[in-house]
Structure 1
Amino acid sequence: MSSEVPIRSALAAKVNKKRKRPAEEAPKQSKTPARKSTGNATEGPKAKKQKDGKNKKDKNEQEDKPKAIRGEPLAKERRGGMDEAIGKMDGRLLADHFVQKAKRHNKELTAVELSDLSVPDSAFLDTSSFDSPRALEQLPVFMKAFSPKGANLSDSSEQKGTPHTLVVSPAGLRAADVVRALRTFSTKESPIGKLFAKHIKLEEAKQFLERARVGIGAGTPSRISDLIDSGSLKLDELKRIVIDGSYVDQKQRGIFDMKETHLPLLQLLTRSEFRDRYGAKDKKIEILVF
């Protein structure tokens, strides 16, 4: 009996040792934390491809921004229905902006066709000194600020349908708002001309111009061109073209951002009746971008 007790004790100790070993090894393994993906050196091909695509998109967006003025980059700041960058551009930058947008919207244009649609630097009056927000209620102040000293914007030519100022907007509804904003210049003898298609037929607009004196006309590029072609809208006394450039709609699009508005605008501004008078000494026409 005495010899069996040590044997059993040794066997029990050996079994207990084997049971303890897995329990001791488990905590050791749990001490090593799971390796997390940092997204840097360990990122896979798919993540890298997505990152490269994002960088390419960011680069394209950067190239679409207006060029620098006096060495400082401009960022497109579109807040509250306004593209604030437009007001910071001088004539040279505006001319380049027009061309770049034309290239983007009309990739099929040849170099000659693009040249024909280019507005010269000399056509633009620099309005970058205007410090107030280019909200619609500021449009009359803007027009007064950049009119010759002593000029009365309520005046009009004795010749019917002969404005001294045209205000060009991207859409009929916006042009109607512009007409309301310019009521301060409207008189009984010389109302603001409604030169847009919204609820106004072409024949009605032609009849209005043939019977009324008009100092300021507000409309859209296509309708203004149609009225010039018809002979109802006369350009003998025209001194300035104000482009409603800072306004953007609910989709953050302005007159330069849509092909259906930008191309008619360029076609209007580069008509021979205008082009020959940009920078001229006699009967000069200037473009102001609001």
Structure 2
Amino acid sequence: MPKRAADAIESLDGNIAYELDEDTTAQSKKPRNADNDTSAPHNGDSNDADAPQEGKKDSQRKRKKKTPKFIFSDPAIARAPLADQAAFFNKKMESALRDLTSLDLEGNQFEPEFFTDTSEYDAPRDHEHFVEWLKTYGQSDYAEPIPKKAPKGAPRVLVITCHANRAVDLVKASRDLGGEKATIKLFARHIKIGEQQYLLKKFQKDIGIGTPNRILALLKANSLKLDRLDMIVIDCFLDLKDRMLVDMPETCQDFFNLYREFLHAKLKDESTRIAMY
């Protein structure tokens, strides 16, 4: 199968590196026939490209169709210098929170020292490599059992991603570290906030994985706590429109409000760091 790799990193704002697989395998397309196809009407046009041509075998009528399959890798920002990562998020925050004054923005700036350099990690940043990546860049040994005296509902790692499907994949992967009870789902799909509040109050959790809206709601309700937090993972996963967390209208404002109201203070006291996955 021929394969073409193309670099699309022109700037740090919204561009990505990706591979393009072109599947040139011949794919057959059944001709429309009024006798055996009732799903689509026949217009009777003799020049219809899909109509069977007399004297040609079925194999000769098969067309080669290029079906591009995009395999997106990490956005450039995940491997950028730390100063560029800070500038990137400050620019995105200014765009997302237009009602903030310049004074408010200056008081909540992302700083290069908030970030952990993960640029040397060469493996794909997909859910299958999440545990390996976390063991490499995490500030604690997350494979160790949670201390019995650890506060309830206070994870050491907070993973913020763009939607529930991605969060589910990361939750499944992270169970390899300490079992299902070590991870809590912090997103809304099929999980009521009351259930999450109960679990946070009842159990000790090391890793919380979720979306900005639900994480923000749980923090405001004082159910999710940041006492033990030492690592904030910002997931760089791209959706089908090549957008990451800070580009999506449904997540960007919640993310930056979460940062301003709760995470900025933790980063300023140097007890917590951001890592881009």
| TM-score normalised by structure 2 residue count | 0.70
1:209-235 per-residue CA deviation (whole Å, 9 max, x = no partner) reads: 111111101001111111111111111
Confirm or deny: 8 A CA contact 1:66 1:85 kept in the other structure.
Answer: yes
Q: CA deviation at 1:107?
A: 4.5
Q: Does residue 270 of structure 2 align to residue 278 of structure 1?
A: no
Verify the 8 A CA contact 2:142 2:206 in the aligned structure 1: no
Equivalent residue in structure 1 for 2:239, among 249, 262, 272: 249
Letter in 2 for 1:165: V
The verdict on how the C-alpha distance between 1:152 and 1:265 changes in structure 2, with shifts beyond 3 A counting, is same
Task: Give yes or no for the alignment of 1:259 onto 2:240.
Answer: no
Which residue in the other structure is 1:231 paired with? 222
Which structure has the greater CA radius of gyration? Answer: 1
Equivalent position SS for 1:256: helix
Q: Which runs of 5+ in 2 are unaligned?
A: 1-8, 20-70
| TM alignment of 1:119-130, pairs within 5 A | 119-130=110-121
**Do residues 77 (structure 1) and 17 (structure 2) align?**
yes
Change in 2 beyond 3 A, CA 1:83/1:228: same
Q: Measure the CA separation in 1 of the matches of 2:260 and 2:136.
A: 26
Cα distance in 2 between the residues matched to 1:209 and 1:82 = 34
Matched, 1:99 2:39: no
How far does the alpha carbon of each residue in 1:228-276 deviate from its partner, in whole angstroms, 9 at most, with x for none?
111111111111111111x1112221112113212211221222x4323
Contact map agreement 2:83 2:112 (CA 8 A) in 1: yes
Aligned AA (1:274) = L
Unaligned stretches of 5+ residues in structure 1? 1-60, 68-73
- Is residue 181 from structure 1 mapped to residue 181 from structure 2 by the alignment? no
Higher strand share: 2
- Count matched residues: 216
Q: CA deviation at 1:186?
A: 3.2
Contact conserved, 1:116 with 1:270, CA < 8 A, in 2?
A: no
1:145 aligns with 2:136: yes
User: Does residue 66 of the first structure (1) align with residue 12 of the second (2)?
Assistant: yes
Give, as a single letter, the amino acid of the residue that structure 1 aligns with 2:182: P
Distance in 1 of aligned mates of 2:118 and 2:102: 29
Shift of 1:279: 5.0
The Cα offsets for residues 63-121 of structure 1, whole Å up to 9 and x where unpaired, read as xx228xxxxxx963245243341222132111111122233444454312433453222
**Distance (whole Å) between structure 1 residues aligned to residue 104 and residue 264 of structure 2:** 15
Q: 1:132 to 1:165 in 2, by over 3 A?
A: same
Is the Cα–Cα contact under 8 Å of residues 88 and 128 in structure 1 kept in the other structure?
yes
Q: What secondary structure does 2:194 align onto? A: helix
Matching residue's letter, 1:254: M
Contact preservation (8 Å) 2:231, 2:273: yes
From the superposition, tell whether residues 252 and 180 of structure 1 become closer, same or farther in structure 2 (CA, over 3 Å). Answer: same
Tell me the equivalent position of 1:289.
Answer: 276
> Aligned-pair distance for 1:277?
3.1
| Most deviating of 235-244 and 81-90 | 81-90
Say which SS state the counterpart of residue 16 (structure 2) adopts.
coil
Match of 1:8 in 2: none
% identical equivalent positions: 30
Q: Is 2:17–2:72's contact at 8 Å kept on the other side of the alignment?
A: no
Shift in Å, 1:287: 0.6
Structure 1 residues 209 and 217, CA gap change in structure 2 (3 angstroms): same
Higher helix share: 1
Tell me which amino acid in the other structure corresponds to 2:184: G
